[in-house]
Amino acid sequence: MNFSEILVTMEDELFRGSKSRYVWFFGGVFVFLCFLAMHYGTYMSLLFPNFEGIPYSLISYLVVLSIGPFIIMITSFDIVSSEIETGSIRYIIPKVHRSSFILGKFFFLFLVFISISSGIALISLMYQYSADNVFQFKNTILFWIFSSLYLGCFISIFLLISTLSVNNKISFTMSIVFLGILIYFFLQGHDTYLKYITPFFYGIENMSFINSFSVKTGYLRFCESLFSMFLYILVFLSTSLVAIKRRDL
């Protein structure tokens, strides 16, 4: 693993890869859907009767929670499998370490969706100011942190699936099945350990922080939530690194 090689892989994806335009397009669709949700936030505010004013940060976060996993799946299911299917990975691997290749792919997607989360957060701030003439920086920053990590969890999941697949069809099918399993585990595992292995659980738990966060009473839970999501990303990303090293390319 080499930092310069990771950076080269990221730059190649961002500025020269055809995948970049595809990812940015669906990222733009994602931002537009969040914009629509905030624009019609008056109707969605009925879901939050205890919130003063229209909760634009929470509305945006609900869109991220519900639509984000599918946007991530569409943009990342073939991030590695397409290279394997076409054979182009055989020309890349001799030039960079396999671990640098995977990390470069991950950070490319993570950087894109951090940027998208930042754009959504800025739109949220604009709507907050237009409605209340005040910027709710705390809620917006919490939204940005949690949405970025939440999407990062799914990036690491679908990156692993793409690394294990030999072509795009298998990768797409496995991604749909695995996402369905995660949804099933979350719905069925409310009172069991199953909920802890799904990003949905951590994403929904974080809604309480965006709604109301107190440093005195919620700091420990806040740190636990951040650590859990970082650990989730680390586990799947590490598994991807192990898988690519053991694959016969």
**9: which 2 tokens?**
């892989």
Q: What is the model's pLDDT at position 9? A: 81
Q: What is the model's pLDDT at position 230? A: 92
Q: What pTM did the predictor assign?
A: 0.89
Rounded Cα–Cα distance for residues 224 and 111 (Å) = 24
Q: Give pLDDT < 50 ranges for the chain.
A: none
Q: What is the model's pLDDT at position 189? A: 66
List, for residues 144-157, the tens digit of each pLDDT value. Answer: 999 999 999 999 99
Print burial letters for 58-72: b (CB count within 10 Å at least 16), e (below 16).
Answer: bbbbbbbbeebbebb
The residue range of the domain holding 154 is: 3-246
Number of structural domains found in the chain:
1
Q: What is the model's pLDDT at position 191? A: 66
Q: What is the model's pLDDT at position 72? A: 94
Residue recorded with tokens 């190649």: 12
C-alpha closest to that of 172 among 239, 247, 69, 73: 73
